[in-house]
Amino acid sequence: MTVPVSLSPPRRSCLSVPAINQRALDKVHALDCDVVIFDLEDSVFPEKKAEARANLRRFFRETPLAARETVIRINAAASEFRAADIGLILDLRPDALLLPKVEEPQEIRQVASLLATASGDLRLWAMMETPRGILNAAAIAAAGREAGGRLDCFVLGLNDLRKETGVQPEPGRTYLLPWMMQVVLAARAHGLDVIDSVFNHFRDTNGLVAECAQGRAMGFDGKMLIHSAQIAVANDCFGPSPEGVAEAEAIIAAFANPAAQDLNVINMNGQMVERLHLEQAERLVAKARQISERKRTA
């Protein structure tokens, strides 16, 4: 089996943790999320920004997180805290920097330039959460290639988008769906992952299940979470199912048969399966192995 070289880490569950909350920081080591987003922006009052940065500096140096992607969400471009946040990123070297409220391609280029001295592995993630950002999603995604390929992922932010558009927070997200799909399409056109927005009612398990299923069906790679109680649902919904892995392995085995060597389409149990399905099957099995390895080393 040839694993696609562009395979990204599993991002089923992306837990947002306020950098000011020391108790929450202490707990993340025991959690089964794929990604921890350490937040310096909305969840931290202005007078607490310096303390939050100090918390992260201590966390990364004394108790670094193993086997999970680490992402730090910094403050907005016009914020007085942006320069200090960038300095922290260059010092701590998380896996990625999450930019809030990205609206123009130029912001991706500017931040990539600031990161020019950083390790080549330091990635950029971008929050898509304003009307202008949604309208410019394709141009923003394209700018990621111009910025040395650092842009890696879009994260949808529907709370801010609702606030700025007046769309009500109704179940099913009916009036938001066209904008959500626009972000997914822009991400896929430029090889980015894309993460669904938070579900605010963390005690409503049924609602979370329904929204995760919707996000999965729309093509999202995972979900941004606000509470540890949401992790298991997101992992289950956005992760490969045992049945899906078994089917993928059967497709891989069928194309590995010497009789199928020169075929682009084969018959499997009365269903026509193309080589594009083989590529999808390889990705799914590789993702399942990544998840298993992450859990083993966490």
pLDDT at 5 over 70: no
pLDDT at 55 over 70: yes
Mean pLDDT, the chain, integer: 92
CB 69 within 8 A of CB 97: no
Report d(CA 166, CA 75) in Å as an integer.
Answer: 24
pLDDT score, position 119: 63
Helix extents (H) in the chain: 22-27, 49-62, 82-92, 105-114, 131-135, 137-146, 158-165, 177-189, 205-218, 231-238, 242-256, 275-297
pLDDT score, position 68: 95
Residue 1 — very low, low, confident or very high, per pLDDT cuts 50/70/90? Answer: very low
Lowest mean pLDDT among 31-40, 99-108, 145-154, 166-175: 145-154
Per-residue pLDDT tens for 119-169? 668 999 999 999 999 999 999 999 987 777 899 999 999 999 999 999 999
pLDDT at 2 over 60: no
Report d(CA 138, CA 184) in Å as an integer.
Answer: 10
% residues pLDDT > 90 (the chain): 73
pLDDT score, position 70: 98
pLDDT score, position 258: 86
Question: Exposure string (b/e) for 12-23, b if CB count within 10 Å is 16 or more?
Answer: bbbbbbbbbeee
pLDDT score, position 298: 72
Residue 62, token pair as written in the block: 């004394």
Per-residue pLDDT tens for 252-271? 988 988 888 888 888 888 88
% residues pLDDT > 70 (the chain): 97
Name which of 136, 231, 237, 153 is nearest 192 in CA terms. 153
Per-residue pLDDT tens for 271-282? 889 988 888 899
